[in-house]
């Protein structure tokens, strides 16, 4: 399966291809300075410099980021609001995913979550807390904890499965996808666990909501009805909906799924976002 890293422009509804590769790459993050994308592939993270003259050509440089002992990084990674720190989800030490932080330029990972499995998805806008999903019983629920580690706070209860928690830019809400009674919809909840609201209700299987930097929109991935989990290699849609709810707009149909937009992928200007699609 080939991979294509691309950028969607909201103003022109156009797609710019950044790179093609014969390797599996996933889950682009946009650096806060707007200069690069961070992706994962083969258990490591890589930086793709958007100012590099090779960008737009076949297989431009992907510069591996030193993650030390962490050689099993999955597609749940991101960048702190100040651009100084990476957060990764890695299974090397525990045999199941735990969350670590390290300097943006690379270095030795520092453990954040003792419990496994834990998969990172969101960073609070004030830089103090991380949002993630963890399985502490029979189901995955949304949790938060301090960036430096410590006691985790359980945000959601009663779901069959939760994934993809991401903060709004004002820090007032955490969006996530939640499975209840066989339906996967988008939800939002206050960080203290109050005010739970169901934000979609349609036949689609909706995953990975990402609030835009201006707080106006939610970008998300929509699978066809009946899809179980969040597999790769599916015909999916990237959709945009108002942040307060309402009818979504289909931006793009593509062959993707797992790895397309698992983590925050908006450009700092809020007019573009990065994604990955796959060859058949």
Range of the domain at 10: 3-278
> In the prediction, which pLDDT does 61 show?
81
> In the prediction, which pLDDT does 269 show?
95
Q: Supply angle C-alpha 256, 102, 17, rounded to 5.
A: 30
> In the prediction, which pLDDT does 155 show?
98
Strands 205-211 and 217-223: antiparallel
| CATH code, domain with 233 | 2.120.10.30
Residues with Cβ within 8 Å of 226's Cβ and at least 6 positions away in sequence, in order, are 205
> In the prediction, which pLDDT does 140 show?
98
DSSP symbol at 55:
T
Q: How many domains does the chain have?
A: 1
CB 54 within 8 A of CB 60: yes
C-alpha span between 136 and 142 (Å, rounded)? 11
Task: Give the residues of the chain that fall short of pLDDT 70.
Answer: 52-60
CB 56 within 8 A of CB 49: no
> In the prediction, which pLDDT does 51 show?
74
> In the prediction, which pLDDT does 67 show?
98
Quickly list H helices, 6-151: none
Kind plus residue range of the DSSP H or E element containing 125 = none
> In the prediction, which pLDDT does 53 show?
54
CA of residue 278 relative to chain centroid, distance: 17
CB 173 within 8 A of CB 165: no
> In the prediction, which pLDDT does 59 show?
53
Q: Which two structure tokens, joined as six digits, stand for 173?
A: 């809400």
For the residues of 31-59, what is the DSSP string, one character each?
-TTSSEEEEEETTEEEEEETTSTTTTSSS
């Amino acid at each position: 399966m080939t991979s294509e890293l691309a950028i969607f422009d909201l103003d022109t509804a156009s797609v710019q291809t950044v790179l093609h590769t014969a390797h599996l790459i996933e889950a682009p993050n946009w650096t806060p300075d707007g200069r690069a994308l961070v992706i994962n592939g083969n258990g490591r993270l890589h930086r793709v410099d958007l100012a590099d003259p090779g960008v737009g050509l076949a297989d431009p440089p992907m510069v591996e980021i030193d993650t030390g002992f962490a050689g099993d990084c999955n597609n749940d990674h991101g960048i702190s609001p100040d651009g100084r720190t990476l957060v990764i989800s890695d299974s090397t030490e525990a045999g199941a995913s735990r969350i670590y932080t390290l300097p943006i330029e690379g270095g030795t990972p520092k453990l954040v979550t003792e419990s496994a499995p834990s998969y990172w998805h969101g960073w609070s806008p004030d830089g103090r807390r991380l949002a993630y999903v963890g399985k502490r019983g029979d189901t995955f629920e949304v949790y938060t904890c301090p960036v430096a580690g410590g006691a985790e706070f359980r945000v959601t209860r009663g779901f069959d499965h939760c994934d993809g928690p991401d903060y709004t830019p004002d820090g007032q809400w955490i969006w996530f996808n939640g499975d209840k009674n066989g339906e996967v919809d988008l939800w939002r909840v206050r960080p203290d666990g109050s005010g739970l609201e169901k934000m979609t209700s349609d036949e689609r299987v909706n995953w990975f909501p990402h609030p835009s930097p201006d707080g106006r929109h939610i970008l998300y991935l929509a699978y066809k009805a009946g899809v179980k989990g969040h597999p790769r290699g599916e015909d999916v849609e990237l959709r945009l909906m108002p942040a307060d709810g309402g009818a979504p707009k289909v931006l793009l149909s593509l062959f993707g799924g797992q790895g397309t937009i698992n983590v925050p992928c908006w450009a700092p200007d809020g007019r573009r976002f990065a994604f990955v699609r796959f060859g058949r």
